[in-house]
Structure 1
Amino acid sequence: MGAQFVSHDEASGTVEMAFTPPDGFANMRGSVQGGLLAGPMDEAMGAAVYLATGGKLQLTLDINLSLLRPVAMERFTVKARAVRSGRKVTFVEAELFDHEGKLSARATATTLVTGWPGESQGGAGDKGRGA
């Protein structure tokens, strides 16, 4: 997705990432096609889950995207945070700000927390040993 890490606020659990849309993301009006904004927002929410769960991965179960204004084909930022994290499910939210800092989209998602590929259900101590 071409994400660039911007910052992480440990107190609020917020992660900020920046994205520059490639030319192929433009719609006929010259702004970013709305559905393609879901990818960068999902990526930032995944980073928020990673930080909130101490390094676990996630699978997005659902995502709700609200498009508030067109997003120019310029660098934009996404701020995401885990709202509530349980043992298996984490709820996350994100806000997308255009190149002028204007709120342009919001998203919420439900994610399934997973281990790393090859990690057994037993935890990090079993990493790579199989189930």
Structure 2
Amino acid sequence: MTEQSPMLQWPSAKLMGAEFVSFDQDTLTVEMAFLPPPEFANMRGHVQGGLLAGPMDEAMGAAVFLATQGKLQLSLDINISFLRPVAMDRITVKARAVKAGRRVSFVEAELFDKDGKLCARTTATSMTTEWPNMKQGPDA
């Protein structure tokens, strides 16, 4: 995952219109943008609350990936607080690996709407794992 690859290629990232924005090595913080597909709309025309977990989980996974030099996360729990409705427009998620360990990582994220208003917060615990059928990442 680099700043040169604007769209992430695995199916869940593509579905959510994921775009890698930046990574701050000092704070272990990833910023990603997402464009929710029309099917994410609820009856009020906002992003359905449960579907906001996807972009937040995606960004937290990226934070763990970068903080652990290429390991994957397997989410053990995700706790979300919804602060306001999220319009069907571009959203930004900032995720930080609070503690990226060899076996367990603690991660947090904040989701912002197109105007920069905080709409949701989440914390998660994840198990740090190797790539399936590989020892050292996708290009090994």
Shared fold by TM > 0.5?
yes
- Mapped to 1, the partners of 2:48 and 2:125 lie a distance apart of 23
* Counterpart Cα distance in 1 of 2:92 and 2:62: 14
Equivalent positions of 1:99-110 (< 5 A) are: 99-110=114-125
Match of 1:6 in 2: 21
Q: The residue matched to 1:70 in structure 2 has which SS?
A: coil
Deviation digits for residues 22-55 of structure 1, max 9, x if unmatched? 1111111111111100000000000000011111
Q: Write out the 4+ residue segments of structure 1 that deviate beyond 6 Å after TM superposition.
A: none
Structure 1 residue 91: Cα displacement: 0.3
Cα offset, 1:2, TM superposition: 2.1
Identical residues among aligned pairs (%): 72
Counterpart in the other structure of 1:47: 62
- Residue 10 of structure 1: CA displacement? 1.2
- 1:68 to 2:105 alignment: no
CA displacement 1:62-119 (0-9 Å, x = unmatched): 1001100000001000000100122100000000000100000001110000001113
Q: What is the aligned partner in structure 2 of residue 24 from structure 1?
A: 39
Aligned: 1:33 with 2:48: yes
Q: Is the 8 A contact 2:17 2:37 kept in 1?
A: no
Considering only CA atoms, is the larger Rg found in Structure 1 or Structure 2?
1
State the TM-score, normalizing by the size of structure 1: 0.89
Structure 2, unaligned runs of 5 or more: 1-15
* 1:8-29 superposed Cα distances (whole Å, 9 cap, x missing partner): 1111111000001111111111
Aligned Cα RMSD in Å?
1.4
Residue type of the alignment partner of 1:78: V
One-letter amino acid matched to 1:39: G
Distance (whole Å) between structure 2 residues aligned to residue 85 and residue 19 of structure 1? 24
The corresponding residue for 1:82 is 97
How many residue pairs match? The answer is 123
Q: Counterparts of 1:30 and 1:87 in 2: how far apart (Å)?
A: 41
- What TM-score do the two structures reach when normalised by structure 2? 0.84
